[in-house]
Amino acid sequence: MTSEDKLSIWASAPSETEMIKIKNTKDYIEKVLKDYLDINEIKRKYNLSSFTYEVYLQWSYKNSTNIRYDSDVDIVVQVNSVFWSDKSELSPDEIDRYNKAYSNTSYGFLELKEEIYNVLKWYFGEDVAYKNKCIKVNGNTNRVDADVVPCFQYRVYKKFISVDNCHFVEWIKFLNTNDNTEIINFPKVHYENWCSKNDDTDWKYKSMVRVFKNIKRDMVEKWLIDDNIAPSYFIENLIYNCTSHCFDWNYSESTLKIFQFLLDSIKQDRLKSFLCVNEQDMLFSNKTWNLADAIRFINDAWDYFLNS
């Protein structure tokens, strides 16, 4: 069985140097946009009364569950003053009030992505590439590779009496510019639920996610499984579904408890009901993780943990 000492190393955060480079990456991009994105010109060109946005990390880099071998850091550039909305839960009267309060604008996603791309391209030069779902910024000695995701706030309205008396759930929405497919994500909801789980487990959730990511990485390096069978994001979501009691022990015992919970879930056909951390998406579906891949990963990782 994998030793407690090795699991302890796997549970630890990446080096301080790497964590500084991750922070530098976000700070560099945020500063470049602050200094060179011409907000006044955008407001003038599209007749906007305001233009506000925020820049933040998402997924494992936001949660600090990243390991040394994780993929590029995701940096969200979220515009809030212009937003998309879902009003399907509002009454006709509420929709009428909403339509009187807000008007449409010609400023859309393609314009937003182009503005951000042009600024980053001008500043970082050949390190920048326009991709289907993001803008790629290659790293150097001071920063890591980054996927910059321009997006708009996406409001799912639950109530609308007035601009100051309403309730909505905040998501984000952007497009795959290759085929104009709409993509909706829940980074802030994800983070809130992640924090709650981490608190409930006395901060062991974060550590155990790293353990399981490192088990997978070790298996990939030894050609025991394919890298694509268990993406890191899905491993984090998988461990989220384990009861908090699984995390009450040292690393060896907690790993055993988590594996037992997952194996029991397979036997009892409960795995397919697992949720993503955002608790909006099912973990297993046509657009998320393949159930057969997850079962194979759990069984192979269990064997590897017992015999390594």
Give residue 185's pLDDT.
87
AA identity, residue 153: Q
The whole-chain average pLDDT of the chain stands at 90
pLDDT above 90 (res 59): no
Confidence of residue 111 (pLDDT cuts 50, 70, 90): very high
Confidence of residue 117 (pLDDT cuts 50, 70, 90): very high
Confidence of residue 74 (pLDDT cuts 50, 70, 90): confident
103 vs 270 pLDDT, higher one: 270
- SS3 state at 107: coil
Pick the CATH number of 14-185 from 3.30.460, 1.10.287, 2.40.160, 3.40.50: 3.30.460
Q: Please, are residues 42 and 48 in contact by the beta-carbon 8 Å criterion?
A: yes
What secondary structure letter does DSSP report for 244?
Answer: G
Give residue 69's pLDDT.
52
The total of other beta-carbon atoms located within 10 Å of residue 258's CB is: 24
What share of the chain has pLDDT > 90, as a percent? 66
Give residue 177's pLDDT.
92
Give residue 67's pLDDT.
59
Give residue 210's pLDDT.
92
CA distance 110 to 150: 10
Give residue 189's pLDDT.
85
Give residue 162's pLDDT.
93
pLDDT above 90 (res 60): no
pLDDT digit string, tens, across residues 166-198? 999 888 999 999 998 999 888 888 888 988 998
pLDDT above 90 (res 2): no
Give residue 254's pLDDT.
96
Residue 303, CA distances (Å) to 29, 142, 164, 252 in order: 43, 39, 56, 14
Residue 83 bridge partners (DSSP)? 153
pLDDT above 60 (res 281): yes
What secondary structure letter does DSSP report for 70?
Answer: -
- Greatest Cα pair distance, the chain, in angstroms, is 66
Give residue 63's pLDDT.
54
CATH 3.30.460 placement within the chain: 14-185
Any idea which residue has 């003038």 for tokens? 44
Give residue 287's pLDDT.
85
> What is the SS3 string spanning 133-169?
CCEEECCCCCCCCEEEEEEEEEEEEEEEEECCEEEEE
